[in-house]
Amino acid sequence: MASKLLTLPICLLLMLFFSPLSLALISPQLVCNWTPFPALCTSILAQANPAAGTLHDYGRFCMHQSLLDAIQSLSLIEHYLQLPSTSYLTTIRALEDCRSLVSLNIDFLSQTLATINSTDSLDSYQADDSETLLSAVITNQVTCLDGLEALESSASSMSSDLLVPLFDVTKKYSVTLAFFKHGNWGPNINIGRWLTERDQHRFKSDNNGHLPPVTISSRQNRKLLGTADIQRSKVKVSAMVVVKSDGSGDFATINEAVAAAPNNTDKSYGYFMIYVAAGVYEEYVSIPKYKKYLMMIGDGINQTVINGNRSVVDGWTTFNSATFVVVGEGFVGVNMTIRNTAGAIKHQAVAVRNGADMSTFYNCSFEGYQDTLYAHSLRQFYRDCDIYGTVDFIFGNGAVVLQNCNIYLRIPMENQFNAITAQGRTDPNQNTGISIHNCTIKKPANSETMSYNSTKTYLGRPWKEYSRTVYMETFMDSLIDPLGWKEWSGDFALSTLYYAEYNNRGPGSNITNRVTWPGYHVINEIDAFNFTVYNFTGGDAWLPKTGVPFIKGLLS
């Protein structure tokens, strides 16, 4: 895209990117040259019939067309789900994933379209929200496609009939995101909230999230049970229920408590608190999209334990293999262990799948082997968590910051290597990636040293074309291979990915023999600030309400 932009006259670039001249009439052919799919873009805008329009005109039209495409996609998926020939369980599960994901896309596109229809100038938070939702729309569509492509031909003769139209819609979503990204809808929309050198001193480690005491606005007014940090924080709680596996609480299962929460509340309502007492809960927990602003607090790691064992080998899609699924906006999870016990031999087996915007996990443990933590989409924050795994065990395409976490490397199967991350960014305009900040990478305390001698461990590999992962101020044990990073397949994505390291420490952090791919970088402080809580997730705006401690900038 950059090379195409450089071919435009400088006066036109100024006209495109600086208000109010960005609202001047521009021909479709001209503006389509800097979208990922110029020919498709031109054909879309030809349906609008103007000889020329403004960037905002084009953006609104493309977004409206994308919404219609999402509605049509859902209808197509529903059609195939109802066919008598759709009888294979794996096919049904993949289609059900698509139905859920495309339904989310209808919500996200409707929300974003309503926002941009109301004004020509968004504030920074509206712009961040809209860009995040449009990035997630593409992620959802790609996830649907991945599930269908994984079906064996013998299991689903209709998968190819779905793949072509759904793939075309994915490209249309990319055009829509490009128009929003470059349409000057809000302040600094092209660069997000990234800092200049003069701003740095304001965002060193100056906020640990410790606020005044908890306030509970509830008739029940029970004692809040949680960590000291949460107790010291000003967290508004509207109601609280207790889950105990022996039946002595309000509910015996976590899902029953989730079902009791009110639907579609907003952040002003306060959190619906679910206290999960110590015990082992053998259930698959789901926080659906309409259960917003739930806070779930357990009795501690290895005290409150949620177990599941679904896996791809046993017929589940990666997407629906998770023990714990959260989609509802504003979720906060504290003091729990969540496991997928399927084991390494069952390959993809997710412990937690997170597709909830502005979601937070604090002092939790996620245990699995391959694909442990699926940070699927939208803005996420993890603090003081333990993540165990082997292959691609932190993966997905959200805008994710892991801070002060322990990343534990387990022993993989024979002839396997460990890859910590497999980030799934598919579009250069998506605001997504994995930022690992001030974490510790090591083997579990009870592991046998000799078992690791033949295992190679890498910081990550590119699952998708624009994979983006950054390690900052993190301790890396000697287990990390000197190359640091692993290719996915040949030279796939090596020039389009963005992998970076900044001021890491420990024997595995030596960059002398790192890969020399075009997309690999050793970055400076200015670039590292781009991937902090403040810049990458806008967490300073929503994390204080959770009571979870955080550092919004760099350590030093």
Catalytically annotated residues: 392
Contact by Cβ (8 Å): 409, 446: no
Q: Which residues contact 154 (CB under 8 A, 6 or more apart)?
A: none
Whole-number Å distance between alpha carbons of 409 and 419: 9
Tell me which DSSP letter residue 23 carries. Answer: G
Alpha-carbon distance of 380 to 402, in angstroms, equals 9
CA–CA dist 545, 215 (Å, integer) = 12
Helix, strand, coil abundance in the chain, percent, nearest 5: 35, 20, 45
C-alpha neighbours within 13 Å on the C-beta side of residue 263 = 4
* Amino acid (1-letter code) at residue 327: V
DSSP tally for the chain: helices H, then strands E: 12, 27
The phi-psi region of residue 273 (left if phi > 0; otherwise alpha if psi is between -120 and 50; otherwise beta) is beta
Q: Output DSSP code: residue 537.
A: I
- Token pair of 128 as six digits: 């961040």
| SS3 of 250-305 | CECCHHHHHHHCCCCCCHHHCEEEEEECCEEEECCEEECCCCCCEEEEECCCCCEE
The 3-state DSSP class for residue 47 equals: coil
* Opening angle at CA 221, ends 297 and 545, nearest 5: 50
| Residue of 213, 221, 285 whose CA lies nearest to 256 | 285
DSSP β-bridge partners for residue 306: 281, 338
Quick one: which of 127, 125, 138 has its CA closest to 66? 138
Residues 6+ away with beta carbon under 8 Å from 490: none
- Tell me the C-alpha distance between 305 and 301, whole Å: 7
CA 133 vs CA 71, 156, 454: distances in Å: 17, 31, 43
Torsion of CA 150, 156, 162, 166, to 10 degrees: -10
Residue type, 67: L
